[in-house]
Amino acid sequence: MASATATPEPKVNHIGLPIVEYRGGKSTLCAGCGHNAISERIIQAMYEMGVEPERVMKMSGIGCSSKSPAYFMSRSHSFNSVHGRMPSVSTGAILANSTMTMLGVSGDGDTASIGMGQFVHMMRRNLPMIYIIEDNGVYGLTKGQFSATADIGSKLKTGVINELPPIDTCAMAIQLGATFVGRSFSGDKKQLLAMLKAAIAHKGTVMLDVISPCVTFNDHEGSTKSYKFMQENDEPINDVGFVASFDDIEIDYESGEVYDVEMHDGSSLRLRKLLEDYDPTDKANAVKTLMEAHQKDEVLTGVFYIDTKKPTFIDQLNIVAEPLATLPESVTRPPKSALDGLMASLQ
C-alpha cells in the first residue's frame, strides 16, 4: 500500500499566523550588520506576541537603520519619513489612530544628531509607541562619520579619535518622561527578544537603545560599538524574562532576587537583579546608575526604568475612543452655524 506523505502544517501563533506572515523584503544591508539581527528579533517578538500585522504602523527616519522596516512585517503599514523627523510624523499617526501598535526604528544619527529636537519632545509626551535606536555610533549610510552616541576615545578606521562626550539616550529618555527604557545588544538574542515582547505589552513610550555594530565602518579594534567590545564589556543589570498573558508557563530562572512587573495586558515582566539593589521604578537612581557607568566605561544593558501607571498622552488628551482617522466628516467638521456663531462672537 502506498503511504501518503502529507506536507506538515506550518506552526502558527495564537492568532493562527505562521512566522512567514511577519517577514519582510530581502535585506539590502551589509551581511553581518547588527540591524539585520534586530529585524529578526522584531519578527520573532511580533509573531510570538500574536500581534496582527495589519494593526502595526512601522515608522522610520533616514539611515541604514531606518531602511530596516522594509525587511520585516510586509503586511503592516509603513512610513519612511525625513531624516530625524520620525517623531513628529509618528505623533500625528498615533493621534489619528491610537488603536494601532506603533513601532519606530531610528539610528543614533537619526535620533541623537539631526533628530534630537524631535526626540526629546516625543520622550516627554509618553505617547504609546516603541522607539528603537539601532545604535552603531556612526552614520553608516553616509560612510561612517561619528554620531553623537560615539564614546570618548573611540577610534575610526582612519585613526580619528572621538573627543566629545556621548549623549546617553537612555538617561535622557528616563529623565524626560519615557515609561519603559532599556538598552540591549543586537548580539544578545534572548535579552533583546524578552525586551521587545515586554515593549509590545507596555502602554506608553518605550525607548530601547540597541547597540548594533556596523561591520563596514565601526567594527574594528579601537571601536566601542564593535561586536568584540560588546562581548567583552556588556554588563547586564538584570536578567530579563517575559511571559505573555496568554501563556501559562513559569519563567525558567536560576535563583536570585527578582523584581516582578505586571504589564497592562496582564503579561508579566520578571527582572532578576544582577546589580545589587537595583529598583527599575526608581527614576533618579536609574539616571544616576547610567551616569556612574559612563565614569567607569561600563556598557550597562537591561531594563533601566519602567512605570506602568503614568497616563499616556492619548489618555491626557481625553479624546474619543474611536480612531479620529475613521470618524465621519459629519462629526469632525463643525456645522456652518458653529462658524457663524464664532464669527458673530468676535464682532
Ligand X SMILES: Cc1ncc(C[n+]2csc(CCOP(=O)(O)OP(=O)(O)O)c2C)c(N)n1
Residues contacting 158, CB < 8 A, separation 6+: none
CB 166 within 8 A of CB 109: no
Instruction: Tally Cβ neighbours within 10 Å of residue 112.
Output: 24
Q: How far is the CB of 215 from ligand SF4 (least distance, A)?
A: 5
Q: Which of 28, 34, 31, 30 is nearest to 228 (CA)?
A: 34
What is the chain's percent helix, strand, coil content, to nearest 5?
A: 35, 20, 45
Which residue, 113 or 238, has its beta carbon nearer to ligand X?
Answer: 113
Q: Give the CB-side neighbour count of residue 110, counting CA atoms within 13 A.
A: 29
Distance CA 23, CA 25 (A): 7
Closest residue by beta carbon to Mg ion: 107
Write out the binding residues for Mg ion, residues 127-146 only, by CB under 5 A: 136, 140
Q: How far is the CB of 272 from ligand X (least distance, A)?
A: 32
Alpha carbon separation from 184 to 68, 161, 254 (Å, rounded): 17, 25, 21
> Can residue 29 be called a binding residue for ligand SF4 (CB under 6 A)?
yes
Which residue, 49 or 138, has its beta carbon nearer to ligand SF4?
Answer: 138
> Can residue 216 be called a binding residue for ligand SF4 (CB under 6 A)?
yes
- Listed ranges 63-71, 258-266, 282-290, 304-312: which one lies at the site for ligand X (CB under 6 A): 63-71
Residue from 46, 138, 201, 244 binding ligand X (CB under 6 A)? 138
Q: How far is the CB of 208 from ligand SF4 (least distance, A)?
A: 17
Strand ranges across the sheet with 180-185: 77-80, 56-60, 101-107, 129-135, 205-211, 180-185, 299-306, 234-236
Q: How far is the CB of 70 from ligand SF4 (least distance, A)?
A: 12
Q: How far is the CB of 73 from Mg ion (least distance, A)?
A: 22
Residue from 53, 84, 87, 107 binding Mg ion (CB under 5 A)? 107
Closest residue by beta carbon to ligand X: 107
Longest dimension (CA), the chain: 94
Write out the binding residues for ligand X, residues 108-137 only, by CB under 6 A: 108-110, 114, 134, 136
CB 57 within 8 A of CB 129: no
Which residue, 142 or 231, has its beta carbon nearer to ligand X?
Answer: 142
Write out the binding residues for ligand X, residues 142-201 only, by CB under 6 A: 142, 147
Residues contacting 188, CB < 8 A, separation 6+: 234, 301
Report which DSSP code applies to 6: P
Give me the residues that bind ligand X (CB under 6 A), please. Answer: 62-65, 83, 107-110, 114, 134, 136, 138-142, 147
Give me the residues that bind ligand SF4 (CB under 6 A), please. Answer: 29-30, 33, 35, 64, 136, 140-141, 214-217
Give me the residues that bind Mg ion (CB under 5 A), please. Answer: 107-109, 136, 140
